[in-house]
Amino acid sequence: MKVLYVCTRGLKDAQTGAGTQARETYNALVRLGCEMTRIYSCHPVGTFEDEAGRALTEDDVRALIARNDVTHLIYCLRPLAQYWRRFAPHRPTAGSTVFWSGWERVWITHQNMPFGWPRLRAELTCIRRMCALGNDYRGIDIFLPNTHAEGMKVQGCYRMDETTRCVSVPNGFIPPRFDVATLPRSKKVPDGDYLVVPGVFAGRKNQLGLIRALYDTNYQIVFMGDALDSSDLSCWFYEQCRREATDRMRFIGYLPSGSEEYWQVLAHARCACLPSDCETPGIAMIEAAYAGARPVITKFGGTLEYYGFDAEYFNPCRLNEMREAVDRGWARGRLSTDQAKTYARFSWDYCAEITRDAYRVAILQEKSESENQRPDSSR
């Protein structure tokens, strides 16, 4: 199978969950034997470049579409879904995105205001951009969200063809080559039990909300990650978290995902918490659960579909509810060995197999539609 893989330019070297998913799914599809060609969508909309950074003309893109069996648009559906129809009105197209309603984000931000007006202003700016780009996902033959809940939100908020199918493709991770149960304790974590909070510092990740929720408790908390980027808002948020933290809260910075020290921190944590406004569902939490840490996580974003009864859930808008969820998770303790092993199923190869099968559905669907539109020569 030949696949044209179209990513947004910002994901090329991004160390975010979206960037990781795009890269690792691509690599896993290669391992499955798919013949992959990757290009990047740039600004302004409708401009593209290849892996080497060479600009592609419209004729170049049309030729690539013609040479491949299916095109997969990665995190560039809006507004590419509309634009793509100019290139390939009758070619199989799959689409992936990390999505939740922009107005829902504004509502949650308004309800949960530990970082105040700058964050709300940023969300409103995001809404204006989304409205300017349109809400049209027509032209996508098969849509591949991370969860069923995410797929339902997209279908409820955006225009899609009635024939568009929705197939959930979970996030994945790369299991370590070593046994995490035998790893020594990291020197960066405190003695005794602790709660680990993995991931970059960003407003929607809501670490400041967790700090305020647990401010007067005796929990030892380890924050593993740095500011999302060098923007003023990200840096302000990170510094504000450090200013409000107590002496029971440690900031150990970024540890490369997959490194031995990264897994050491996860393997000895009693619980892991992602207090985000929304998660779909968080690669770091899958890794933490695999390492045996009890998940304590936001209930928004389809997290229940991944962690089921293993986790404790909360509304990130309510600090008392967040604290109660941490209390419950702490009381339950670490996952059993058998529970932790179940998360090995979230491998990138498994995700790629679902994606490849979805490509086949898109190809067959497009072929069927083309045949139905063909004039009946018997008349």
Contact 273, 197 (CB under 8 A): yes
Higher pLDDT, 267 or 61: 267
Strand order in the sheet with 312-314: 249-251, 221-224, 195-198, 271-274, 294-298, 312-314
88 and 27 in one domain?
Answer: yes
| Tens digit of each residue's pLDDT (9 = 90 or more) over 220-264 | 999 999 987 777 777 888 999 999 999 999 999 999 988 999 999
Average pLDDT over residues 13-18: 75
- Non-local (6+) Cβ contacts of 55 within 8 A are 47, 48, 49
| Tens digit of each residue's pLDDT (9 = 90 or more) over 122-166 | 555 554 444 444 456 777 888 898 888 888 777 776 777 777 888
pLDDT at 344 over 80: yes
188 and 164 in one domain?
Answer: no
The reply to whether 23 falls in a domain is yes
319 and 198 in one domain?
Answer: yes
Average pLDDT over residues 75-79: 61
The Cα–Cα gap between 280 and 99 comes to 8
Domain that holds residue 91: 2-172+348-368
78 and 226 in one domain?
Answer: no
pLDDT at 363 over 60: yes
186 and 135 in one domain?
Answer: no
- Residue 115's pLDDT is what? 47
The Cα–Cα gap between 333 and 192 comes to 13
The reply to whether 264 falls in a domain is yes
The reply to whether 126 falls in a domain is yes
pLDDT at 104 over 50: no
CATH number at residue 329: 3.40.50.2000
Average pLDDT over residues 287-294: 97
The reply to whether 377 falls in a domain is no
- Residue 78: band (very low, low, confident or very high) from pLDDT cuts 50, 70, 90: low
Max Cα–Cα distance, the chain, nearest Å: 83
- Beta strands at 294-298 and 271-274: parallel, antiparallel or unpaired: parallel
Closest CA to 95 of 45, 137, 135: 137
- Residue 67's pLDDT is what? 93
The Cα–Cα gap between 96 and 157 comes to 15
325 and 362 in one domain?
Answer: no
The reply to whether 232 falls in a domain is yes
The one-letter code for the residue type at 302 is G
The reply to whether 266 falls in a domain is yes
359 and 333 in one domain?
Answer: no
285 and 237 in one domain?
Answer: yes
**Domain count across the chain:** 2
The reply to whether 360 falls in a domain is yes
275 and 143 in one domain?
Answer: no
Report the chain's terminal Cα–Cα distance, integer Å.
36
The reply to whether 79 falls in a domain is yes
Higher pLDDT, 111 or 206: 206
Closest CA to 99 of 237, 275, 300, 289: 300
pLDDT at 103 over 60: no
- Residue 114's pLDDT is what? 46
211 and 103 in one domain?
Answer: no
| Tens digit of each residue's pLDDT (9 = 90 or more) over 19-66 | 888 999 999 999 999 999 999 988 776 788 999 999 999 889 889 988
| Residue-averaged pLDDT of the chain | 84
